[in-house]
Amino acid sequence: MSENKRPETMQRITTPELAQAFIDEQLPLLREQIGDGKVLLALSGGVDSSVVAALLVKAVGHQLTCVHVNHGLLRKGEPEQVIRVFRDQMDTNLVYVDATDRFLDKLAGVVEPEKKRKIIGKEFIDVFAEEAKKLDGIHFLAQGTIYPDILESDGVKAHHNVGGLPEELNFELVEPVKFLYKDEVRVVGKALGLPDEMVYRQPFPGPGLGVRCTGAITRDRLEALREADAVVREEIGKLDPVPWQYFAVIPDIQSTGIKDNKRYMGWPVIIRAISTVDAVTAKSVEIPFDMLCRIRDRIIATVPGVNRVLWDLSDKPVSTIEWE
């Protein structure tokens, strides 16, 4: 059997008891692999890397160093949550790198979506590699690779799992959740005591808000997007059932608004909420009109520069889930 093939006898992890059994099985395996070595992990704050970090903290404690790179394209409160959970609560060796200016300077004036993605991905790898070189005695690189990553991309999860590190940083991989599906990783995360907002964090693209602030990213529009997105996520998160994914987009267009009896140019915020099983197809989720109005009123009242709120009710196909 291939070392990257999920064992046919492996039971699906669907209960806290099965999750605890998985944890109990992984801890001695991790200790055996790592020994007294040191491990490095790129910690994005997403469920995959967070579960790996929590597992390794239990297995090898301060032999683990996590690097959290804030590229300025994260959602509101995410960097603070990573610091609070891992540094303050779990006593993890955490290196926090605020690289906002570095990323946004590189992205200034860049319009084409794929070029933006490549800049963000390359810069992330460069920043992570620079931090790795500052640390002595690292022999292992932990990754939040999960089974769909192996099936879809030959085991390399781009951007967050830094599969493109320079050759001189050729560490041995540690991938404790590589045979798990996303729903199983969440069950394990709950059993490890991670907070619900981290365990059930909705899918978030590697380039972050960079693909939801369409066209050339500007700092004022990016900050408006971050604030508007927080409102959208807070309100739509009250739906039952909660949609698979829901977020805000601010396109690179302006429209006329009226404030204090004067005309001015402002941006629209676009609300997107979808349900899906496999992300290959997706259906727009019905949002109650009173909720739409509440979102509209909160955004218009609190987010500078926004004068319209729109609802994207397109399905995939023909629309994609993300705007870029």
Q: Which amino acid is at 315?
A: D
Q: Residue 174 corresponds to which tokens in the numbers above?
A: 């540690």
**Helix and strand totals (H; E) in the chain:** 10, 10
Q: Is 113 left (phi over 0), alpha (psi -120 to 50) or beta?
A: alpha
The predicted-structure confidence for 95-154, as pLDDT tens digits, reads as follows 999 999 999 999 999 999 999 999 999 999 999 999 999 999 999 999 999 988 888 665
Q: Which amino acid is at 114?
A: E
Higher pLDDT, 200 or 3: 200
Between CA 208 and CA 188 the distance in angstroms is: 25
Q: What is the mean pLDDT of the chain?
A: 93
* Confidence class for position 37, pLDDT limits 50, 70, 90: very high
pLDDT at 155: 42
Between CA 274 and CA 281 the distance in angstroms is: 10
Of 271, 52, 61, nearest to 143 (Cα)? 52
**In this structure, how many other beta carbons lie within 10 angstroms of the beta carbon of residue 88?**
10
Domains of the chain, earliest start first:
16-199 (3.40.50.620), 212-312 (3.30.300.10)
* Confidence class for position 163, pLDDT limits 50, 70, 90: low
* Burial (Cβ within 10 Å: 0-12, 13-18, ≥19) of residue 63: buried
Total residue count of the chain as it appears in this document: 324
What pTM did the predictor assign?
Answer: 0.88
pLDDT > 90 in the chain, percent: 85
Instruction: Note the Cα 197 to chain centre separation in Å.
Output: 12
* Burial (Cβ within 10 Å: 0-12, 13-18, ≥19) of residue 71: buried
* Confidence class for position 295, pLDDT limits 50, 70, 90: very high
Residue 161 has pLDDT above 70, yes or no: no
**In this structure, how many other beta carbons lie within 10 angstroms of the beta carbon of residue 261?**
5
Specify the pairing of strand 172-174 against strand 138-142: parallel
